Amino acid sequence: KFRLDNRVAIVTGSASGLGKEMARGLAEAGAHIVVADINLEAAARFAEELMGQGVNALAVQVDVTDEEQIDRMVEKVMAQYGQIDVLINNAGIGARIEIEHMSYQDWQRVMDVNMNSVFLVSKAVGKVMIGQRRGSIINISSISGIIANVPQKHTAYNASKAGVIMITKSMALEWAEYNIRINTIAPGYMKTEMTASDFNENKDSHMVKTWLQMTPMHRPGTPDELQGIALFLASDASSYATGGVFTMDGGYTI
């Protein structure tokens, strides 16, 4: 039930961080991987690495806020594989800017990359999945979309991630009749490029110390720690799960 042999999985933002490790996990279970990222060089490098390990992988450059580029990506994937079984909407950006210093343009970019992209990419891929009468979509939110997170208190990021949760629940309702399951993973504090400075030059900052102190397990998560939940939700192991929010946060939201 946990195997993904000959299934095709698109993982957005998988040239780095959480997306990369989730893609690796799906590949280990037998999936073909579409490394979809705005950074083509890094995506191509990762796809090559996967192919070196015998995985069928395809790198595609896509800005998840651009409907035309998304449509082209879907066409490319369909031309190569003829099906799309799994979509992980993972691409995202951090935004630690206080409201009083944030321009509307900055606000919109955060909403576009983190939240509106989930609508755009799911819509394009969903049309294929509706035709197939099957599919699993996994949206990456954050604990900051569930609770107003004291150390990570920035409004735009947190609102965008809360939006992802309601998009997930509503889409799950809309598409249940097509056998498309849609779930959210809400990771806690994870060690990636996005948070790299927190574990280097800012490791002694009040924010980082508070965050780790407030995490019952007192450590950040590592990207490979999302592999199990991503594989569970992508595969038939979770065949009755839809609209769910799965935290992976060292106990932070308890």
Rounded Cα–Cα distance for residues 87 and 101 (Å) = 35
Rounded Cα–Cα distance for residues 161 and 111 (Å) = 9
**Piece of 57-65, 98-106, 125-133, 173-181 that binds ligand NAD (CB under 6 A):** 57-65
211 near ligand NAD (CB under 6 A): no
Residue 10 CB, shortest distance to ligand NAD, in Å, is 11
Binding mask 91-120 toward ligand NAD (x if CB under 6 A, else -) reads xxx-------------------xx------
Phi-psi region of 179 (alpha: psi -120 to 50; beta: other; left: phi over 0): left
**Piece of 75-83, 119-127, 192-200, 201-209 that binds ligand NAD (CB under 6 A):** 192-200
Rounded Cα–Cα distance for residues 244 and 216 (Å) = 23
- Which amino acid does the sequence have at 160? S
Q: Quick one: which of 142, 215, 238, 242 contacts ligand NAD (CB under 6 A)? A: 142
Tokens of 28: 């280990």
Q: Is 240 among the catalytic positions?
A: no
140 near ligand NAD (CB under 6 A): yes
- Cβ–Cβ under 8 Å, residues 184 and 168: yes
Rounded Cα–Cα distance for residues 216 and 254 (Å) = 9
- Of 145, 128, 136, the closest CA to residue 171 belongs to 136
Q: Quick one: which of 11, 65, 88, 124 contacts ligand NAD (CB under 6 A)? A: 65
Rounded Cα–Cα distance for residues 217 and 227 (Å) = 19
250 near ligand NAD (CB under 6 A): no
Q: Name the catalytic one among 157, 178, 189, 252.
A: 157
Q: Quick one: which of 10, 32, 183, 189 contacts ligand NAD (CB under 6 A)? A: 189
Rounded Cα–Cα distance for residues 233 and 246 (Å) = 10
17 near ligand NAD (CB under 6 A): yes
Q: Which positions touch ligand NAD (CB under 6 A)?
A: 12-13, 15-19, 37-39, 62-65, 90-93, 113-114, 140, 142, 187, 189-190, 192-195
Name the residues annotated as catalytic.
157
